[in-house]
C-alpha cells in the first residue's frame, strides 16, 4: 500500500510540474504602467518646421513597453496607437524602414527619414557623412542603429528628419 501511495504521489507531482511549465510558457508579459494615458500634451513629441519630429523619451511611456521590446520602433508604435504620431514603415532586410511621418512621404529616389539622437551610446561619430543636426541649441547625430534595434533610453531624444541624398 505504501508503494502505491508513493507512486501516486510521484505521478501527481510530475503532472503538477508539467502544468506549471505550461502555464509559465503561456504567460503574457504585462507592461509596467498600464494606467498612464498618452496625450498630445504629455507625449514628448514636438513637430518642428522643415519636416522634423522630435521625440523625447518619457518614463511613463517607457514603462508601458514590454521588457523585451524597448526599442524606438516599439516606443513609436505606442505613440501611433495614441494618435500623437503618425508614420508608415515597411519591413526591410535590416528592419523597419520609415517611409512616411505625419503625412510626409519620402521620395524613395532622393529622400529618406534620418534617425538622430543625443544618446552618445547609440549615435555615430560626426563626420563627412554624419553632419550634426542642431535643434533648439541641442546637437543630434545619426543613430548607429535603425528604429527596430535602437534601444530607447528615458530622457534621450530622438529626431526624425527628412533628408535628401
| 17 within a domain of the structure (yes/no) | no
pLDDT given at position 36: 86
Range of the domain at 134: 45-164
| 31 within a domain of the structure (yes/no) | no
- Separation of CA 1 from chain center: 60
pLDDT tens digits, 51-67: 999 999 999 999 999 98
Mean pLDDT of the region 38-43: 90
Give percent of the chain with pLDDT exceeding 90: 68
| 3 within a domain of the structure (yes/no) | no
Q: What total number of domains does the chain contain?
A: 1
pLDDT tens digits, 78-91: 999 999 999 999 99
Mean pLDDT across the chain, nearest whole number? Answer: 83
| 32 within a domain of the structure (yes/no) | no
| 15 within a domain of the structure (yes/no) | no
**Cell digits of residue 106:** 519620402
Run of H or E including 79: helix 72-81
pLDDT given at position 126: 85
Q: What is the CATH number of the domain that holds 125?
A: 2.170.130.30
User: Long-range contact list for 86-93, CB < 8 A, 24+ apart?
Assistant: 87/160, 89/147
pLDDT tens digits, 132-149: 999 999 999 999 999 999
DSSP label at 123? Answer: B
What pTM, to 2 d.p., does this model score? Answer: 0.77
| 2 within a domain of the structure (yes/no) | no
Amino acid at each position: 500500500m505504501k508503494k502505491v501511495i508513493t507512486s501516486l504521489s510521484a505521478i501527481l507531482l510530475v503532472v503538477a510540474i508539467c502544468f506549471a511549465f505550461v502555464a509559465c510558457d503561456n504567460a503574457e508579459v504585462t507592461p509596467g504602467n498600464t494606467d498612464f494615458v498618452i496625450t498630445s500634451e504629455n507625449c514628448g513629441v514636438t513637430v518642428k518646421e522643415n519636416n522634423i519630429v522630435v521625440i523625447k523619451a518619457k518614463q511613463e511611456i517607457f514603462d508601458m513597453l514590454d521588457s523585451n521590446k524597448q526599442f524606438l520602433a516599439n516606443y513609436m508604435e505606442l505613440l501611433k496607437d495614441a494618435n500623437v504620431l503618425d508614420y508608415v514603415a515597411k519591413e526591410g532586410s535590416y528592419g523597419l524602414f520609415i517611409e512616411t511621418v505625419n503625412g510626409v512621404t519620402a521620395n524613395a529616389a532622393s529622400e529618406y527619414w534620418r534617425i538622430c539622437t543625443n544618446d552618445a551610446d547609440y549615435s555615430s561619430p560626426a563626420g563627412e557623412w554624419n553632419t550634426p543636426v542642431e535643434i533648439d541649441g541641442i546637437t543630434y547625430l545619426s543613430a548607429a542603429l535603425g528604429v527596430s534595434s535602437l534601444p530607447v533610453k528615458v530622457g534621450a531624444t530622438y529626431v526624425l528628419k527628412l533628408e535628401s541624398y
